[in-house]
Amino acid sequence: MKRSLIILLSLLCATMLFSTRRALIIGNSAYMEGPLKNPVNDAKAVAAKMKDLGFTVTLKTNLDKENMDVSIDDFIRSINSGDEILFYYSGHGVSVEGENYLIPTNNNFDSVIKLKNRASRAGEILELLKQRSEIAIIVLDACRDNPYKYTRDSGKGLAQMNTNFPNQYIIYSTMPGKTAADGEGSLSPFTTSFLANVSTGKKITDTVQDIARDLHTRTRGDQIPWSEGILLKDFYFTAATAPVTPVQGLSPNPKVKEPIRVSSADEFLRAIGSDRTIIIGDLGLYLDKASPNLRYSYTDMMQGNPELGLAPSASRSYYFDGESELVIYACKNLTIIGDEKNLSRLYTTDIYSEVITFTDCENITLKNIEAGHRPEYAHICAANVVSLENCTNINIENCVLFGCGASGLGIFSSSAITVRKTVIKECSRNAVEIANSHGIDFFNCEFRNIEEALEILNIGYSRDVNFYHCDIYNNQVESFIYAPEPSERNYDKLIRIENCLIHDNQFEYPVVIAPNIQLNNNVLNNNRLDLVFVTDWDDLIYEK
């Protein structure tokens, strides 16, 4: 009897210890009626993120009715008691007579009866999940415009489901009765905000609040997510892990939840890695003055260097390009936070080196940081301050970037970049350079004291680049913006400049506004040229 009891307890413990976090992620784009651009992209991006966060992921795309039913049934059968579940759907969804339906790709319905019979009822999915899972999170980015004009609720998005199942939590991409945008970029606005905030290690209720703030800002108030449900236990998108103390060596980066506090350049370099938060106090760090054995090159990182005591390792998270330029490499979910009041300082003394370059990085936050070249060299240095190369979901907030011969901020082959309340100043080529990128937003930023430069903004082969409520002043440049109209790409409204103050600048030449630049509600005052923007070179230009 005692032996049987021990075996039973062992089995119960095993079930508790090895419960699985599972995710079914569906994206439908290739609809017979009303095809959508982004849901498949959304699903793939969310699937990759959930894998990184420790979920066992099932990804399905462009499902007709039969395959959608099979995929949902198979997934539900795979759920074991105690499993935590994420169901994420991106595609068409409609509300009919108070019921929400998720639409398969073979959606050539011509009546309400056919829609009800051939679409997946969201409420039924909730009921099935309730029977099998410990906790279920349902995310519905399915409130796009209703293509079925014969339905009573046409064009009004999804209805609130009022789930009464405990430990079920539903997140809608917009409020009940509202529609959500598919987006002009490669991801929907909701998915972009979701991915930018899902890895912070916060409770789901706090995470949804962060997503709401981000989406509200990103869509200029047009879209606000909604959530409902009661959770009897805490849920985190990030798997729970024990706190880890600051890294002292160069071992592979563990996942951490507790912030790592640093007070020297050596400690800062050792702390760099994925899935962590680095906090810098009210101090200045000269990155190129760190210990030589920590300033290894890309070749040293990949092939090893016995003189530095380095074994070959592709898992390291940074290297130096030359003696002084820090490159943070292939990091995910890294937050660097400085002192909010005085800003923490990251410098390099080499005027030919960028201060920090992020390469192949995802979900990075840089906040409360002043970065630049040594202050006395602010106007004669010859490199960017911060560069982003092949990065996605980057947030820069309350920073000061100063002193360069190139750009304060360079963005190359990157997407979903948000810059808030940041000052870019004292540059000698331009404040911002953007190339081959999309989904770039600047909110409440300052661009000032750009002197003897070509232009303030340089934007090429990029789309969905937006400047909102920015203050642009005290600059001496040839022209405001260089943004050649793409001749081979059918882009529309590539660059938006809205509600900005443009004043007390000296421009040598006006900007000819091509169709790819949209200006709205800007205030221009006391600039050297009366006409900073013209629609044709034949417009007369007068100087004050």
What is the domain-level CATH number for residue 26? 3.40.50.1460
Q: Which domain holds residue 196?
A: 19-230
Q: State the pLDDT at residue 260.
A: 93
Establish if 181 belongs to a structural domain. yes
Higher pLDDT, 350 or 156: 350
Q: State the pLDDT at residue 143.
A: 67
Over residues 419-444, mean pLDDT: 91
CATH code for position 334 = 2.160.20.10
Q: What percent of the chain has pLDDT over 70?
A: 81
Higher pLDDT, 345 or 98: 345
Q: State the pLDDT at residue 381.
A: 57
The verdict on 188 and 271 lying in the same domain is no
- Residue 333's Cβ-count burial label (10 Å; 0-12, 13-18, 19+) is buried
Band of residue 41 on the pLDDT scale cut at 50, 70, 90: very high
Q: State the pLDDT at residue 296.
A: 87
Strand partners, 481: 457
The verdict on 27 and 102 lying in the same domain is yes
Band of residue 249 on the pLDDT scale cut at 50, 70, 90: very low
Tokens (6 digits) for 359: 């390469």
Band of residue 472 on the pLDDT scale cut at 50, 70, 90: very high
Most confident of 71-80, 141-150, 440-449: 440-449
Establish if 104 belongs to a structural domain. yes
The verdict on 226 and 265 lying in the same domain is no
Establish if 520 belongs to a structural domain. no
Establish if 500 belongs to a structural domain. no
Q: State the pLDDT at residue 405.
A: 66
The verdict on 281 and 393 lying in the same domain is yes
Q: What percent of the chain has pLDDT over 90?
A: 37
Residue at which a domain ends, from 471, 489, 507: 489
Strands 325-329 and 318-321: antiparallel
The verdict on 353 and 264 lying in the same domain is yes
Question: Does 503 have pLDDT greater than 90?
Answer: yes
Mean pLDDT (the chain) is 81
The verdict on 215 and 264 lying in the same domain is no
The verdict on 32 and 85 lying in the same domain is yes
Establish if 50 belongs to a structural domain. yes
Higher pLDDT, 160 or 429: 429
The verdict on 291 and 159 lying in the same domain is no
Residue 70 CB contacts under 8 Å (≥ 6 apart), including other chains? none
Over residues 433-439, mean pLDDT: 90
Over residues 104-125, mean pLDDT: 84
The verdict on 59 and 197 lying in the same domain is yes
The verdict on 270 and 223 lying in the same domain is no
If one counts the domains in the chain, the total is 2
Establish if 320 belongs to a structural domain. yes
DSSP 165: -
Establish if 118 belongs to a structural domain. yes
DSSP states of 222-240: S---EEEEE-SS--BSSPP
Higher pLDDT, 456 or 186: 456
Residue 492 CB contacts under 8 Å (≥ 6 apart), including other chains? 515, 516
Out of 137-141, 363-367, 486-490, which region has the weakest mean confidence (pLDDT)?
A: 486-490
The verdict on 351 and 478 lying in the same domain is yes
The verdict on 215 and 339 lying in the same domain is no
pTM, full prediction: 0.55
Reduced DSSP (H G I as helix, E B as strand, rest coil) percent helix, strand, coil of the chain, to 5: 20, 35, 45
Higher pLDDT, 282 or 312: 282
Establish if 69 belongs to a structural domain. yes
